[in-house]
Structure 1
Amino acid sequence: MRLFQNKQNQRKLRLNTSVVASCPACRAQLKDHPDWCPQCKFTGSDSMEVFAGTPPPLPPILDVASVWSPAELRSIASAQRKIAKRFPQFIWKICTVELDPTQSLDIFSFWMFNAAPLTGDETAEQRAWTVLLIIDAANHKATVTPGYSAEPWLSEQEWRQGLLQMREQWERGKTAGAVAKYLSTTQQLLEKSWQRLPPV
């Protein structure tokens, strides 16, 4: 995967996708969502050993790394509402973190998605339709984890394409705009996926 170059400080943001149909540890393609990866033997319990404790519930935006200003948070929320209006079955979650450089963002995202408790008004079915975008601000990486119901609507390449389209905005220091670009690109891809459905 190509790296993002931050022109302001010459640090890089690498975007990797973590799709449910791929092992978050070795990236092997999986079929039928098995309990463990046949290639590297990774299981969900392995992520619990790496990241102890229980993550917080997943609100629409969780800016742990304090990347965005109040105005930028409102801009991201507006972009979330726009795509949710078109595809209300999908639930979009955006999170920023600061991980240790030795920690895998893909495994962290897998752990957070599956271990985060449901909020008071959130159902298991809604979690299955959730798409979690996590940005590691400390190491300049990003990954996306769609739930079981959301994942089949796009190929892994298409899920990754949404991330790649964030590049220009991120390089210009417009991180909120980069998230909005991710959401708008993903919406366009979902539109195409919907148009490919056979008539009923």
Structure 2
Amino acid sequence: MNFPRTSTLLGAMPRLSPGVSDTTGKLTSGETGKLRKRVTAIQRRFPQLVLQVVMRAMPEDHPFSLYAFWLFNAGAFAGEGRRGANNHAILLLIDPARQESALIPGYGLEPLLKPEALGHLLDLAGPVWEAGLWMEGIERVLAGLEKLLESVGAPEETGAINGEF
């Protein structure tokens, strides 16, 4: 499946708030504000990074992975001019109703952020999400993601200097 076909199948991109978007109401306004500050702080440390957290109920019509792929590509979170190898966006998508989540890096980050490491971050949040502690789980993912970015941001082959990719 490619992006044009998913767009035809799933339709228009939903309206999302930059940084943190929760249409489920699982986060309080205070938690959303705290998460926005955390996302901003991470992006300040890694200036090429665009981080988007989305909590949204996805229809049961299609696999969650299809929705995650579509949302990441339709969202163009890094900006229309930063596609392909220049895409340093990361999407954390959580569907509390389906009890599924995804952590998707842009193509520019895929060589650095291995699926196993991203899966491990989601696994860290799983137990608290199962208990309905959405904020705590997101904080766990973001803390682990920040450490992961630190570990991959230093090698010379990435062109990274002082936390930049």
TM-score over 0.5 for the alignment?
yes
Tell me the equivalent position of 2:162.
none
Tell me the equivalent position of 2:82.
125
Which of 113, 120, 128 is the equivalent residue of 1:154?
113
CA separation in 2, counterparts of 1:105 and 1:154?
21
Mean Cα displacement is larger for which, 77-86 or 106-115?
77-86
Q: Which runs of 5+ in 1 are unaligned?
A: 1-41
Q: Which runs of 5+ in 2 are unaligned?
A: 160-165
CA separation in 2, counterparts of 1:97 and 1:141?
10
Query: Quick check: 1:177 aligned with 2:136?
Result: yes
The structure with the largest alpha-carbon Rg is 1
Q: Note the C-alpha offset of 1:140.
A: 1.0
Q: TM-score, normalised by structure 2?
A: 0.81
Q: Note the C-alpha offset of 1:132.
A: 0.8
CA separation in 2, counterparts of 1:162 and 1:73?
20
Structure with the largest fraction of helix: 2
Tell me the equivalent position of 2:93.
134
> What percentage of aligned pairs have identical amino acids?
21
Q: TM-score, normalised by structure 1?
A: 0.68
CA separation in 2, counterparts of 1:161 and 1:147?
18
- Contact preservation (8 Å) 2:52, 2:77: no
Tell me the equivalent position of 2:163.
none
Q: 1:49 to 1:189 in 2, by over 3 A?
A: same
Q: Note the C-alpha offset of 1:60.
A: 0.8
Q: How many residues align?
A: 157
Q: 1:93 to 1:198 in 2, by over 3 A?
A: closer
Q: 1:63 to 1:171 in 2, by over 3 A?
A: same
Tell me the equivalent position of 1:92.
51
- Contact preservation (8 Å) 2:50, 2:77: no
* 1:49-101 superposed Cα distances (whole Å, 9 cap, x missing partner): 32023333561111122221111112212321332232221111011111222
Which of 70, 75, 90 is the equivalent residue of 1:116?
75
Q: Note the C-alpha offset of 1:142.
A: 0.5
Q: Note the C-alpha offset of 1:133.
A: 0.9
CA separation in 2, counterparts of 1:186 and 1:90?
12
Tell me the equivalent position of 1:102.
61
Tell me the equivalent position of 1:54.
13
Q: Note the C-alpha offset of 1:146.
A: 1.3
**Which residue identity is paired with 1:125?**
R
CA separation in 2, counterparts of 1:71 and 1:58?
15
CA separation in 2, counterparts of 1:43 and 1:57?
22
Q: Note the C-alpha offset of 1:46.
A: 2.3
